[in-house]
Amino acid sequence: MLDMKFVRENPDLVKQNIKNKFQDEKLPLVDEVIDLDQKNRKAQAEADSLRGERNKLSKQIGALMAQGKKEEAEEIKKKVAENADRLKELEKEEAEYSERVLKIMMTIPNIIDPSVPIGKDDSENVEVTKYGEPFVPDFEIPYHTDIMERFDGIDLDAAGKVAGNGFYYLMGDIARLHSAVIAYARDFMIDRGFTYCVPPFMIRSNVVNGVMSFAEMDAMMYKIEGEDLYLIGTSEHSMIGKFIDTITDESELPKTLTSYSPCFRKEKGAHGIEERGVYRIHQFEKQEMIVVCKPEESPVWFDRLWQNTVDLFRSMDIPVRTLECCSGDLADLKVKSFDVEAWSPRQKKYFEVGSCSNLGDAQARRLKIRVNSENGKYFAHTLNNTVVAPPRMLIAFLENNLNEDGSVNIPEVLRPYMGGKDKLIPKH
């Protein structure tokens, strides 16, 4: 969320940013919110004046009563009563204006970084760098669920009966591989200096509103009926929420945390073969990383975060690339975002396995995450990035480590988490 003062002083810049994000329907909101803010400040000024006059008149009444001048005191009391009625009206106006201003400010997108490419949607995202050599073996690679079934490693039919579409049972070696990747990712991030955390898997609505846009909330979040609780779509939500309404001393920054959690999402695509299986599902597990830092340090941390994901995947012999999200593909709170995509030998293309975002002070402003410095208080910057998100990551892993005989190689870094195995042998 932008600072109202910034919008007031830079309306043309805010409008151009809206155009760059191809959200022209929001352009009228800029003038509307500036007008509402002006009316709100005018009402506040009059209310403050009346409060000051009330205090002054109250002292006069006390003095007159002490002097026995009751009639004069009663006349001033009438004036105080008139002011009280007007003050009540103004306070109501203030509340209404403030609510309308906040609602609009929550929908005006954050100012994107000047380096972000301008484009309408994800088809105009820009490749940054490739890591590792993508390859296509001279044998056919089956669909990922077919690979898993050779190990008796997945049961979608039973999951469908128990929970419906978008759920799964992972079994045996595949389930163990899933857990091994999560455990390895945890230790990988701990070794890079991040503090490990297991957060709450449900959050209140004020935290939801603080960490994401309304559009994202409607598309993603599961609400707990009868309670002010939502299931998290990613642990970033509760991790950033950990700092709600706090003031941290500048000397304690940055805060670097890595977290494990299950994730729950309403969305499930049905747009072709790659949307089946375990690619887009209602429930999955993830290792995440977040940073709370000084504003001037957030660009450096952004590059460190996505590099962590690249390094993790390369340590498991999986080719990846980074893709910069264009303006139209950025969620409203984001300043800048990179996707990390893994190579799929079967599809002969890359697909998303992680996303890194710098949100500037947008989340901090909504959640009142402040920093205390020698020069006063300011809002922190927040960033987040996916370390790894099985079972989608398993697709990349299985395809890139599959042998012609159906066995799957286990990279050296994962062997301690797989009981020392260097290869998985199919049962079928």
Q: Residue 102: helix, strand or coil by DSSP?
A: helix
89 with 142, same domain: the answer is no
Q: What was the pLDDT predicted at 280?
A: 82
**Pairing relationship of beta strands 195-197 and 255-264 according to DSSP bridges:** parallel
> In this structure, are residues 305 and 410 in contact, taking their beta carbons and an 8 Å threshold?
no
Last residue of a domain, one of 74, 105, 136: 105
Q: What was the pLDDT predicted at 166?
A: 86
212 with 87, same domain: the answer is no
Q: Beta-carbon neighbour count of residue 427 at 10 Å? A: 12
In a domain, 245, yes or no: yes
pLDDT in tens, the chain (428 residues): 899 999 999 999 999 999 999 999 999 999 999 999 999 999 989 888 877 777 777 777 677 676 777 777 667 677 767 777 888 888 899 999 999 999 999 999 999 999 999 999 999 999 999 999 999 999 999 999 999 999 999 999 999 999 988 899 999 999 999 999 999 999 999 999 999 999 999 999 999 999 987 777 777 899 999 999 999 999 999 999 999 999 999 999 999 999 999 999 986 444 444 456 888 889 999 999 999 999 999 999 999 999 999 999 999 999 999 999 999 999 999 999 999 999 999 999 999 999 999 999 999 999 999 999 999 999 999 999 999 998 889 999 999 999 999 999 999 999 999 999 999 999 98
Q: What's the domain range around 44?
A: 4-105
Q: What was the pLDDT predicted at 73?
A: 66
43 with 137, same domain: the answer is no
339 with 374, same domain: the answer is yes
Bridge partners (DSSP) of residue 378 are 371
Q: What was the pLDDT predicted at 54?
A: 73
In a domain, 29, yes or no: yes
> In this structure, are residues 379 and 360 in contact, taking their beta carbons and an 8 Å threshold?
no
In a domain, 367, yes or no: yes
139 with 96, same domain: the answer is no
CATH number at residue 23: 1.10.287.40
Q: What was the pLDDT predicted at 3?
A: 94
In a domain, 112, yes or no: no
Q: What was the pLDDT predicted at 245?
A: 97
In a domain, 110, yes or no: no
Q: Residue 420: helix, strand or coil by DSSP?
A: coil
Q: Beta-carbon neighbour count of residue 259 at 10 Å? A: 25
In a domain, 116, yes or no: no
CATH number at residue 136: 3.30.930.10
Q: What was the pLDDT predicted at 272?
A: 43
361 with 397, same domain: the answer is yes
94 with 182, same domain: the answer is no
160 with 296, same domain: the answer is yes
144 with 221, same domain: the answer is yes
254 with 302, same domain: the answer is yes
Measured between alpha carbons, how far is 26 from 20 in angstroms, rounded to an integer?
12
Measured between alpha carbons, how far is 412 from 315 in angstroms, rounded to an integer?
9
In a domain, 115, yes or no: no
Q: Edge-to-edge strands of the sheet including 369-373?
A: 246-249, 369-373, 376-379
Q: What was the pLDDT predicted at 56?
A: 75
162 with 94, same domain: the answer is no
Last residue of a domain, one of 105, 137, 156: 105
Last residue of a domain, one of 60, 78, 105: 105
In a domain, 111, yes or no: no
What is the total count of domains within the chain?
A: 2
101 with 128, same domain: the answer is no
Q: What is the residue whose two structure tokens read 């049962």?
A: 427
